[in-house]
Structure 1
């Protein structure tokens, strides 16, 4: 892969209206997901995503998609409108991603807590990452299956003594 500053590269694509609509959704989804990355050092990657998204959406606006494309007053970049995103496949993907991450993280943390209680924190911390995953995985799967079947219906919080 060559550095984009050293080579001019032009590509012409022929896309149907449906394919162009899908491209709009794809770049918007990628930009939305990239913007969730708050890790230090990710700014350059985020900027390149935003730049390409802006370029494609600016073209889309000029090609008859002005009803779903607007300019963000804060960044002066093009974006899909909130109304479009709310009812689009983009939002469905983001909602599903957040949902999956929530349940995966919850099941992992509960499984990890269960292992720490059973083995003790020092013994748990002495395990390699591979060993930790080996003992956590069956418990995590059990929690995952329970949440898949019952959601949060069987989750009960018990406050420590004196805290509620």
Structure 2
């Protein structure tokens, strides 16, 4: 005896505001997934397909939401995309400085104590404190005082 296929569709009840915010989150998430992936990346394409499907539900809001159509696809207006790109820019900036501080701190500690295959608690704390020093430096001076010897 075979069982009937299970239908896994989900229905959400959202206010208009929450729907628009959900689309913002979907856009931002898809941007994160696809920003560094290649054109042939199937995983990224799956997320883009979900994004398109979700945006198709925004068609009734074309007049009052931040949407327009292009080639029969609903998408955010350029102005709204720009506001989301501002969020991405702030995120990128924060990640850049934190990653730079961490990598420089780790480099400094490894140079000081030698190669560490295992980062033990005390080494982790040294890296953390050095990272905080770099973060304070970057907050005060940005890249002004970072020097790199001339490249050969």
TM-score (ref. length: structure 1): 0.69
In the other structure, the counterpart of 2:26 is 27
Structure 1 unmatched ranges of 5 or more? 1-5
- Deviation per CA, 1:32-62: give whole Å up to 9, x if none: 11113539xx733x333222211111111x2
Which residue among 94, 99, 105 is the counterpart of 1:105? 99
1:63 CA displacement: 1.1
The 5 Å alignment of 1:59-138 reads 59-60=57-58, 62-65=59-62, 68-71=67-70, 78-86=74-82, 88=83, 90-119=84-113, 123-124=114-115, 126-130=116-120, 132-138=123-129
Structure 2 unmatched ranges of 5 or more? none
TM-score (ref. length: structure 2): 0.74
Deviates more, 1:7-16 or 1:47-56: 7-16
In the other structure, the counterpart of 1:3 is none
Q: Which runs of 4+ in 1 moved over 4 A?
A: none
Are the aligned partners of 2:61 and 2:67 in contact in 1 as well (CA < 8 Å)?
no
RMSD of equivalent CA atoms = 2.9
1:25 CA displacement: 0.7
- Aligned pair in 2 of structure 1 residues 69, 53: CA closer, same or farther (>3 Å)? farther
